[in-house]
Chain A
Amino acid sequence: MGILEISHVTKSFGSNRVIKDLSFSVPEHAVFGFIGQNGAGKTTTMKMVLGLLKADSGEIYVNGEKVSFGQTATNRFIGYLPDVPEFYGFMTPREYLAMCGQITGMFPDKVKEKSTELLKLVGLEGVNKQIRNFSRGMKQRMGIAQALLNSPKLLICDEPTSALDPIGRKEILDILYSVREHTTVIFSTHILSDMERICDRVAFIHDGNIALNGTLDEIKGIRKGEGIEIDFMHKKDAAFFLQNYSSGVLSEETRIVLKKQSEDDIIEIMRFLSQKNIAVRRLERLEPGLEDLFLEVVKG
């Protein structure tokens, strides 16, 4: 049984069915990427896991315990980083963490020790100003610190990198990657490169359903060896090649992309090129990025 199990969950807002029969599970110690367009239902799903929204039907289990709406006991296993984290602006980071620690029932000494450790991890040690003076990136980092305070089994981050500049994003991703040994991380995003960088499992949510779900390698493997790209030395070679391979598409002056090619097809192409004495600058198999997959999923 995974740390998080979602089975047959539905949720509507008025007549708008946001989540339609959603089921998936997250194994322990994974970095689980949750991809979808804006409005696909990522945040709604996360809020249901946290017991902040009531699911219309279906069940959610965290660490084997059923999630209930309102008074949510399962939240003791969870650290949560909202998409735009807002903290009490009049408090300093240490004061805020002390309050959180007290709420979760940690001993004061432990809170102090953990605060120091976490503020160091997120690069906020020695910052003693009130949170209202924080930049967005600092708030996000503060968010991670508070989410990890009670050493949660499951860390849920809602679009943690969306609002940040590239450097801020890298910092957050590095932090998330570094905590995976102690905790399972789920994070949602629509930035695919972030996901490719740190996730080992990925689920695409589209139109309230899971469209694809598996390890990053599995998902990439779905369309592995999909195409090849040939870069010719001369324009005339490219033109000649096109006459014989009409399925090819000229992407640039000397570059031709061929879709859906098996290994045998490639050997055949190489044989053709050597027979005709055509030298090429480069011949490359195209590995599909998540981007292609994402577009395919979205287009349906």
Chain B
Amino acid sequence: MKEKRFQLLILSPLKRTWGIKMKQWTAFIKKEYLEQLRTGKLLVLLILFCLFGIMNPAIAKLTPWMMEILSSQMEESGMIVTGVKVDAMTSWVQFFKNMPMALIVFMIMFSGSFTTEYQKGTLVNVVTKGMKRYKILAAKMGIMMMIWTLGCLVSFGITFGYNAFFWDNSVVHHIGFSVFCFYLLGLWLTADLILASVLCQSASAVMIVTGVMFLVSYLIGMIPVVSEYLPTYLLRSGELLTGAKSAGGYCISVAVTIFFIVLEAVLSTVIFNKRNL
């Protein structure tokens, strides 16, 4: 009897409100997913991440061949190229060189995610339907982070697979952790992008503000004493590969980055709640 009352009084209202709460979020996630799918963005990004995944081992594989072509010219200028050796390391170094490019494209693709909705007024309709604003933010953030996660996994998976096939991945150290560091940097920039999106009115302004946030961290990072305490330090996680550095050195930066992601998400929510749509 008591159990039944507990269920009736406590559990079912909880279930109901929780159900509605989740419903709004999933409804918007579904909308975001459909948008990415039907506007072709998802496909473009997936192809891009695949290409970036293939490019790294491909460049590594082609390096000796290119060197051979160049060697005759180089001999004339007095340089002698002998037996260029490539291995998984070459490919992974390429990975860390190329992925920032993929990150930039990813950011550009999503720079209009909020601003086109402001300009068209599509969010007005959703909000007047009783949608909680923080759920719009959470859904957009969720879908961006999911796609970034998926993209990183695809690029990483492809590069890892080819490297294992052609060479041996064991020559590189901390590969998982260093890729994770770069992935986290992407998450931080996504949080930056969202903060910029709740502040700005146009996609170009969003890109500029995001760029400035990155640049500020990057420039402060020039000072050796503080560089370890900044998110942009994660950009250098490729240095872990040779095993010359220990992963522990990046822990502070990882923690700081996670802190910033949470802080920016909270800040975005607060601002978004009061902004004119």
Partner of A80 from the list B23, B24, B128, B131 (CB cut-off 8 Å) is B128
Contact A103 B27 (CB under 8 A): yes
A152 CB to closest chain B CB, in angstroms? 10
Q: A103 and B28: CB pair below 8 A? A: yes
Stretch at the interface among A85-93, A166-174, A267-275: A85-93
CB distance from B3 to the nearest CB of A (A): 27
From residue A156, how far is it (CB to closest CB) to chain B in Å? Answer: 9
Give the residues in chain B near A15, CB-CB below 8 Å: none
Q: Which partner residue on chain A sits nearest B122 by CB separation?
A: A86
A291 to B60 alpha-carbon distance, docked (Å):
79
A75 CA / B277 CA spacing, docked (Å) = 15
Residues of A near B126 (CB, < 8 A) are 100, 103
Q: If A50-B128, A52-B276, A82-B125 touch, does A91 touch B31 (CB 8 Å cutoff)? A: yes
User: By the criterion CB–CB under 8 Å, are B122 and A70 in contact?
Assistant: no
Q: B128 and A99: CB pair below 8 A? A: no
Interface status of A266 (Cβ within 8 A of chain B): no
**Smallest beta-carbon distance B152→chain A, Å:** 26
Across the two chains, which residue of chain A brings its CB closest to B36? Answer: A90
B34 / chain A contacts, CB cutoff of 8 Å = 88, 90-91, 95
Of all chain A residues, the one with the shortest Cβ separation from B132 is: A71
Counting contact residues on chain A (CB < 8 A from B), the size range is 20 to 34
| B31 neighbours in A (Cβ, 8 Å) | 88, 91, 99
- Chain B residue contacts of A99, Cβ below 8 A: 27-28, 30-31
Task: State A74–B132 Cα separation when bound (angstroms).
Answer: 12
Which residues between 51 and 75 of chain A lie within 8 Å of chain B, taking CB atoms? 52-53, 69-73, 75
| B127, A105: Cβ atoms closer than 8 Å | no
Whether A103 and B273, one on each chain, are in contact in the complex, defined by CB atoms closer than 8 angstroms, is: no
Contact of B125 among A71, A87, A90, A150 (CB under 8 A): A87
Q: Is the CB of A103 within 8 A of B24?
A: yes
Q: Does A110 reach chain B (CB closer than 8 Å)? A: no
Tell whether, in the assembled complex, residue B121 and residue A82 are in contact, meaning their CB atoms are under 8 Å apart. yes
Please state if A86 and B24 are interface contacts (CB–CB under 8 Å).
Answer: no
What does the 1/0 interface line of B104-141 toward A look like (CB < 8 Å)?
00000000000000001110111111111100000000
With a cutoff of 8 Å between Cβ atoms, the chain A residues found around residue B168 in the complex are: none
Whether A80 lies near B125 (C-beta < 8 A) is yes
When C-beta atoms are compared, the residue in chain A nearest to B38 turns out to be A90
The answer to whether A70 and B125 touch across the interface, beta carbons within 8 angstroms, is no
Asked if B39 contacts A102 (CB within 8 A), the reply is no
B-chain residues with CB within 8 Å of residue A76 when the two chains form the complex: 130
Interface positions, chain B 37-60, Cβ under 8 Å from A, are: 38-39
Residue of B whose beta carbon sits closest to that of A146: B125
Complex Cα distance, B38 from A91, in Å, reads: 9
Closest to B273 in A: A70
Most chain B CB neighbours (cut-off 10 Å) among A73, A91, A103: A103
- Distance A53 CA – B124 CA, assembled complex (angstroms): 11
Q: Smallest CB–CB gap between B36 and chain A, Å?
A: 9
Q: Bound state CA distance, A100 and B126, in angstroms?
A: 7
Q: Does residue A178 face the partner (Cβ distance < 8 Å to B)?
A: no
Cα-based distance from A102 to B34 in the complex (angstroms): 15
- A52 contacts across to B, CB distance below 8 A: 124, 127-128, 276-277
Q: What separation, in Å, do the CA atoms of A84 and B125 have in the docked complex?
A: 11
Q: Which B residues are CB-close (under 8 A) to A73?
A: 130
A interface residues with partner B (beta carbon < 8 Å): 50, 52-53, 69-73, 75-76, 78, 80, 82, 84-88, 90-91, 95, 99-100, 102-105, 130, 146, 149-150
Closest 9 pairs between A and B when the two form their complex, measured CB to CB: A102-B27, A90-B38, A105-B20, A80-B128, A86-B120, A103-B129, A103-B131, A70-B273, A76-B130
Q: Could you list some 16 contacts between A and B, CB below 8 A?
A: A52-B128, A70-B133, A71-B132, A80-B124, A82-B124, A86-B122, A88-B122, A91-B31, A91-B34, A95-B34, A99-B27, A99-B28, A102-B26, A103-B24, A105-B23, A146-B129
- 6 extra interface residue pairs, beta carbon distance < 8 Å, beyond A78-B128, A88-B122, A146-B129: A71-B133, A76-B130, A82-B121, A87-B125, A90-B34, A90-B39
